[in-house]
A and B are shown apart, each in its own frame.
Chain A
Amino acid sequence: MLNIRMLSIRNLKAAINGMEILKGINLEVNEGEVHAIMGPNGSGKSTLAAVLAGRDIFTVTGGEIFFDGKPLLGMAPEIRARSGIFLGFQYPVEIPGVSMVNFMRTAINEQRKYRELPEMSASDFLKLMRDKKALMEIDSALASRSVNEGFSGGEKKRNEIFQMAMLEPRLAILDETDSGLDIDALKTVAIGVNRLRRPDNAMIVITHYQRLLDYIVPDFVHVLSAGRIVRSGDKTLAYELEEKGYDWIKEENQE
């Protein structure tokens, strides 16, 4: 099988307020792969996700990122999104007054304009919304509400996956999509994610716990600790971590 390289992260370093969080990350992601990134609190998991999406509160102090062969750093967040990067937020933002419909239509048309495609017609757009809502088992009323306003924790996370389904990204980065979810909500979200797996896209699933990986089975597991990937392996690494805890990695690293 020919592996097509999608994302290359080389010796990435990033800081916030002068404090270095990422201290030299290396990661290669190919089409069709699901990578899980695990690690204790404060290890830099969410920072990595935010830097990939282009959040400017973090300063990249070193290294390179290539996405589909193009340098990613210096690209505005919206250009990254239009090129096919999607960030599923750990804490989705509530935006009162902006309806889901208006939000998604604007997003899709900006993406299409960037790809030199004509605007989607209103009827095609509504059909797309309908199809994806059905796929994600999303309540119909949700679409007429303001973005995340008054949504429960589970609804917010499901709404992230719904947006991912609408935008069909090449690379989805899911930042602790499982946090704050009970087991039923977790299953629903995971089923949604699995429906979006394709041979020509890829996912980076960031999680603190192994349990999400029972439902979204990764091809690779990486352990992040103190801003570095300290260990990589297949899905069995997640079980090993679950069994031995993060202290095991920390201790091993110190040796």
Chain B
Amino acid sequence: MEAVSDKHILDNQLTDWYFDNRDQLISSSSSVFNSLRPAAMESFRKLGIPDRSLENYKSTDIPKVFLSPLNRYIGQRKILFAVEDLFHCDIPELDTELILLVNGWFYENRPKLQVLPGGMIIGSMSEAAKQYPDLLKQHYSKYADYEKDGLVALNTAFAQDGTFIFVPRGAGNDRAIQIVNVLLSPEDLFVQHRNLVIVEDNATAKVVVCDHSLSAHHFLTNSVTEIYVGPNAHLDYFKLQNENNNSNQISTSFVHQERSSDAVFNTITLHGGLIRNNVFTRLNGEGASNQTLGLFLMDKTQHVDSYTFVDHAVPNCTSRQSFKGILDDQATGAFTGRILVRPQAQKTQAYQVNNNILLTNDARMSTKPQLEIYADDVKCSHGATVGQLDQNAIFYLQSRGISIREARLLLMYAFGHEILSKITVDPLRERLADLVDKRLRGELTRCNSCPLHCQETC
């Protein structure tokens, strides 16, 4: 009963926070955001922060991370450092268009919106709402449903800034767009950002998202990202989560795909405290194809919960989900993969695999496929495994002179290889392969690319 009342207090606190700051929120934002705030807040008051009584959240205690004392601010806080002095992306030869977000706010080391050759526009979400209100109205909150999820409602009620990417009809750029989400604060902090990616008809884009923390404080991020992939458009979206283990992150993404579009959504999780990743995909046009992938490597008391929902709304679409996890120490994880094939969605092909390796007796993983199929001419499959490293394979490698430690590493690395091999940005794939190798060897702390060298315990 105590947990229920805690949640009740929490929901009220967040509601009060909204009403106390509503005027400031509205006066500092564009109407695109403001017009949805009342409805989103109303929805939040109904739904609240999801707790374990909800089937979709039963593996993860979300209220707990909200209840830890965090500073919450409406406006942007001044950063006392030059972020570019602290952060440099150390991926050699990764030539990208960079957007830097600090604590959820666009970092103004470059113009708030940049028009790139070919007409691509990237930059601040807040600025995009001012300059392109019609474009935003077309897409903003059209895919993220704040009436179904309290976290999305909360994000929508408070939405102010985030990243904006617009790839107009027919445009394409081999150069990846890189979004670096930096957490950097002299105190514990609650962060929300709202992101929008629009890839119009026949356009192509590659997006790399890197989540980092640059100070050892406790952070909680509640982000929402909406992604529109237009007819015949292609999008590769890679997300690297590498925050300190005191940081908790809830990341909800909505991928909306139109006819003959093709999208890859790949999340690689290396470090972080409690992480919840929601990926909602709607295949809304015939011939669309989607891959939703994930690789998570966890140790200590980390917790990663992945939830996917692939909605086959029309015929002739293909979706493939593959999630792989390696859990060490007392780490815990969960995977829920829901596939909905609507009655009209004939000739659907929908596949889902979740494989997990537990390295210790204390690590735990729960995995749950949910297939709801209402059409009769479809190919669907799912499979889930939770197991240990193959002892026969370890002995085979040992019998060739490879040490047991190296043999285990080779097998773990091989296990994750399938997910890494889907990364189409070559330098990123190589770098991530290296990071994964280091992570498995226990040589990667999230500090090693940070020049601060603070003596935190990661």
Contact = CB atoms under 8 A, between A and B. Distances in A.
A77 interface: yes
The binding surface of chain B is classed by DSSP as helix
Interface string B393-414: 1011111111110110011011
A71 interface: no
Contacts of A110: 401-403, 406
A76 B401 contact: no
B268 to A, nearest CB: 16
Contacts of A111: 401
Given A106-B406, A110-B406, A97 B399 contact: no
Nearest to B421: A97
B410 A98 contact: yes
Contacts of B410: 95, 98, 102-103, 106
Given A55-B395, A77-B395, A97 B413 contact: yes
Contact of A78 (B393, B401, B413, B417): B401
A98 B411 contact: yes
Contacts of A114: 401
Interface stretch (A85-93, A119-127, A133-141, A212-220): A85-93
Contacts of B5: none
A46 interface: no
Given A55-B395, A93-B392, A167 B401 contact: yes
Interface residues of A, number: 28
Interface residues of B, number: 23
Given A77-B398, A77-B399, A97 B415 contact: yes
Interface hub of A96, A106, A108 (most chain B Cβ within 10 A): A106
Interface in A136-191: 146, 163, 167
Interface hub of A93, A96, A103, A108 (most chain B Cβ within 10 A): A93
A202 to B, nearest CB: 17
A167 B393 contact: no
B396 A92 contact: yes
B414 A96 contact: yes
Interface string A61-77: 00000000000000011
Nearest to A56: B395
B399 A87 contact: yes
B418 interface: yes
Contacts of A103: 397, 400, 410
A103 B413 CA distance: 12
Nearest to A53: B399
Given A78-B404, A106-B406, A110-B406, A93 B398 contact: no
A106 B402 contact: yes
Contacts of A228: none
Contact of B398 (A81, A86, A167): A81
Contact of B401 (A55, A82, A93, A146): A82
Given A77-B395, A93-B396, A97-B418, A107 B401 contact: yes
B401 A95 contact: no
Contacts of A92: 396
A111 to B, nearest CB: 5
26 contacts: A53-B399, A54-B398, A78-B402, A81-B399, A81-B402, A82-B401, A89-B399, A93-B392, A95-B393, A95-B396, A95-B410, A95-B411, A95-B414, A96-B418, A98-B411, A98-B413, A102-B410, A103-B400, A103-B410, A106-B410, A107-B402, A108-B401, A110-B401, A110-B403, A110-B406, A167-B400
Q: 3 closest A-B pairs (Cβ-Cβ)?
A: A97-B414, A81-B401, A97-B417
Interface of B: 390, 392-393, 395-404, 406-407, 410-411, 413-418
Interface of A: 53-55, 76-78, 81-82, 86-87, 89, 92-93, 95-98, 102-103, 106-108, 110-111, 114, 146, 163, 167
